[in-house]
Amino acid sequence: LQQRRGLRLSAPAAIQVTVRDALNQALDEELERDERVFLLGEEVAQYDGAYKISRGLWKKYGDKRVIDTPISEMGFAGIAVGAAMAGLRPVCEFMTFNFSMQAIDQVINSAAKTCYMSAGSIAVPIVFRGPNGASAGVAAQHSQCFAAWYGHCPGLKVVSPWSSEDAKGLLKAAIRDDNPVVMLESELLYGVPFEMSEQAQSKEFVIPIGKAKIERPGTHVTLVAHSRPVGHCLEAATVLSKEGVECEVINLRTIRPMDIETVEASVVKTNHLVTVEGGWPQFGVGAEICARIMEGPAFNYLDAPAVRVTGADVPMPYAKILEDNSIPQVKDIVFAVKKALNI
């Protein structure tokens, strides 16, 4: 009636949603949408998940759709891969991706390679997901970033969300994909609220795998990051803006296949490149970006060498002050930008 009278109706406002709740929404919507989807992992059912990502799902969908497993990553990852080959769409949660090393034979030799080795006759629609990279005070065996490890392997798609929209849209896309997808989340972001648009609140909202997002446009330097360091880059960009330096911040979103075209277009505009990641420097995601830029058309537009900001080249220390100095901070990004711009 109001529309017929020519009155403007206000669209539903964006809402604040934590990354945890966004992941829970995505799982709930996909379990409801497709009866082939099921979730398995340690403590995902009655306990609602070690990080409460699966809160309420066991009560809603029951034992066959949300399955608690023993502490045996090789075993339950193998069950999940076999289920995917048989036509189901499992979501396999690792309590931390450091523990996925127990199951790396299943992830790489079974999931990643089977479609290729079967000449496309056997699809493996599976999602491996869980917290990746540094948490807080959990030392070396729980703090490694596996983006470069899994991004190295053909046959896998690898996504790394930052915001709540990233988390929801990429998880839904991963579950619907017919390829094995590794989803690397950040435990430190689970409780962080982000604005979620009206579009992202839809049950059909997905983010295409393989497409980066420009979070902040700029003209002087390109900052490329994934996961939690995207937020650090935005903070650094705010600091640098007060000094007259405008940073273009790119949220990579996907590690493999990498959207190098978006990075190239930005470098052509800004003539400078800084990569930021929480992982180790050698053979890292930033190293791959730098190599791809050097090998492509954007290299001719660089006015200075690219600069990498990474985690320290050491196993993660336990002590907080050492931990803080092993992970890229805002001040490290500001320093790297000034180095790239020679200011």
Whether residue 181 sits in one domain with residue 91 = yes
**Does 221 lie in the same domain as 195?**
no
pLDDT digits (tens, 9 = 90+) for 171-230: 999 999 999 999 999 999 999 999 999 999 999 999 999 999 999 999 999 999 999 999
Total domain count for the chain?
2
Assigned domain for 149 exists: yes
Domain boundary among 201, 234, 267: 201
Is 168 domain-assigned?
Answer: yes
Please state whether the peptide bond connecting residue 180 to the residue before it is cis, i.e. omega within 30 degrees of 0.
Answer: no
Could you give the CA distance from residue 244 to residue 287 in angstroms, rounded to a whole number? 28
pLDDT digits (tens, 9 = 90+) for 129-147: 999 999 888 999 999 999 9
Q: 196 and 68, same structural domain?
A: yes
Domain ranges, residue 196: 15-201
State residue 311's pLDDT score: 96
pLDDT in tens, 148-170: 999 999 999 999 999 999 999 99
Query: Does residue 85 form part of some domain?
Result: yes
Name the catalytic one among 42, 93, 142, 165: 142
CATH number of the domain residue 107 falls in: 3.40.50.970
Q: What is the mean pLDDT of residues 42-60?
A: 96
Evaluate whether residue 266 is within a structural domain: yes
| Catalytic hit among 73, 185, 277, 323 | 73
Q: Tell me if 254 sits within 8 A of 160, measured CB to CB.
A: yes
Asked if residue 258 and residue 130 are part of one domain, the reply reads no
Residues 22-36: what's their mean pLDDT? Answer: 97
> Does residue 225 contact residue 232 with C-beta atoms inside 8 Å?
yes
- Is residue 19 domain-shared with residue 164, that is, in the same domain? yes
Is 86 among the domain residues? yes
Look at residues 156, 178, 201 and tell me which one is the last residue of a structural domain: 201
Half-sphere exposure of 185 (CA within 13 A, CB side): 31
Based on the domain organization, do 191 and 93 belong to the same domain? yes
Active site (annotated) includes residue 198: no
Same domain, 30 and 91: yes
Verify that 74 and 104 share a domain, yes or no.
Answer: yes
CA distances from 32 to 83, 172, 294 (A): 19, 12, 46
CB 154 within 8 A of CB 176: no
Q: Is residue 287 part of a domain?
A: yes
Q: Check pLDDT > 70 for residue 268.
A: yes
The answer on 193 and 49 residing in a single domain is yes
Mean pLDDT of the region 87-97: 97
pLDDT at 9 over 70: no
CATH number at residue 236: 3.40.50.920
Query: In this structure, is residue 32 part of a structural domain?
Result: yes
Residue 9 lies in a domain: no
Q: Are 37 and 181 contained in the same domain?
A: yes
Domain boundary among 168, 201, 234: 201
- Counts of helices then strands in the chain (DSSP H, E): 12, 14
Is 80 exceeded by the pLDDT of residue 342? yes
Asked whether 270 and 248 are in contact (CB, 8 A), the reply is yes
Q: Are residues 162 and 235 part of one domain?
A: no
- Clarify whether residues 30 and 153 are in a common domain: yes
- Whether 73 is a known active-site residue: answer yes
pLDDT of residue 4: 43
Given a cut of 70, whether residue 259 has pLDDT beyond it is yes
Would the CA dihedral through 199, 45, 179, 150 be positive or negative?
Answer: positive
Q: What band does 12 get if pLDDT is binned at 50, 70 and 90?
A: low
- Residues 29-47, mean pLDDT to the nearest whole number: 97
Structure confidence at residue 13 as a pLDDT band (50, 70, 90)? confident
Q: Is the pLDDT of residue 233 over 50?
A: yes
- Averaged confidence pLDDT in the chain: 95
